Amino acid sequence: MLQIRLGLMAAMASLTMLGCSNQDASNSSSSPSNAQTPTNSKSVAASPTKSPETQKPIAETPNNTPPKAIAVGDIKDLEDNSVCGKSKVTYAYGETSNYRIYICADAKEPDRPRYYVSRNKDGSGGLNLEATNYNPQKEGAIEFNNDGYIYTLEAPTTQNPEPVMRVTFPSRKLTEEQLLRYLARNNTKPAGSNASSEPLQYVLQNRERLGICKDSFQDGDTQKGMGSKAFPISDKKYLVQIQCSLAAYQGVFEYVLWSDESPKPRIVSLDFDIFQEPKNGEKPKRVTERAIVGMPRLNLRSQTMTNFTKFRGVGDCGSSAIYKLEGDRMVLQEYRAKYACDGKYVPDFPIIYP
């Protein structure tokens, strides 16, 4: 018996020693040489020698940080006017948290931007571009092309109060930084703050004579929701949206093109093609209307309009249409509709046209 007890005690002691050994081995596997430290997970700024597509110049900010208000002024307020060089003038200036962008023009052609000069605020380098066979001035922005890359400096407007500096890569990916400061000649306030009010006021004041919203205009509705607005198409051309009335969940709108011509503005009314609900098994009928009903949204860059119409409030039936402004016409690009108000919801309405 004594020998058996001694054997059991020896076995227990051996197991205890093995457990301690395994515990030590487990702890040693998480030594500092093998563990990942926070420094290994930090992103490293790309070298200036790498292609622009591999760089990420935009500084990441916390999501709860509100965008900084942009400072807008005249180019005369620029502290250093020597960057553009001799025989050149500064056409516009933009500043972000990381860059200073100078848009320059030849002194003999001061109204046409030609040179893009970007300087890193940390002094690490910059970029010089020249537009030799095109005008980089676009509506609301200045764009320079360089081997498939597009460098854009947006201008502040009432439709775009938070402009950016943007780089678009050949792959169509893009990176951008919000502008903190924007200067241009005779630019003491955001462009379009007064310009767009003139076309809108002209159309509203002459609404009855122009035959706009003949039977359904509700003046008080312009203070609600989407309202009446004017959108710049070019320096002398605006798309004017007049809200005739507003129901519980959508409005009735008419549109005209306002052009700055002498001796008085030129007004062109726009029509919209829609498809009526079919009857007796027939196909939907295409008709042209002066007014559209729904929730229209305009994309100035592509000059397209999307309109979603509910046939009833719950939204189980309705239509969606895409129009493109071509000259003085709104041309239908796509029309979808679900005419049956049956309580069934579908992710996409069936295509009626094309």
Residues pairing with 259 in the sheet: 237, 266
Q: What's the average model confidence in pLDDT over 45-60? A: 39
- The answer to whether residues 288 and 271 touch, using CB atoms and an 8 Å cutoff, is yes
What is the pLDDT, as a whole number, of residue 68?
61
CA pair distance 287, 122, nearest whole angstrom: 60
Tell me if the bond preceding 263 is cis, omega within 30° of 0: yes
Q: Among the listed ranges 82-96, 114-128, 183-197, 337-351, which one has the minimum average pLDDT value?
A: 183-197
Element (H, E) at 230: strand 229-234
pLDDT attached to residue 320: 93
Residue 133 tokens read as 């066979």
**Residue ranges per structural domain of the chain:** 67-184, 197-348
Q: How far apart (Å, rounded) are the C-alpha atoms in residues 142 and 88?
A: 17
pLDDT (tens digit per residue) in 203-227: 988 998 899 998 778 665 444 334 7
Residue 116 has pLDDT above 90, yes or no: yes
pLDDT at 39: 36
What is the pLDDT averaged over residues 105-129? 91
As a whole number of angstroms, the distance between CA 216 and CA 214 comes to 6
242 pLDDT band, cuts 50/70/90, is very high
CA distance 82 to 79: 9
Kind of pairing between the strands at 292-299 and 304-310? antiparallel
H/E element holding 19? Answer: helix 2-28
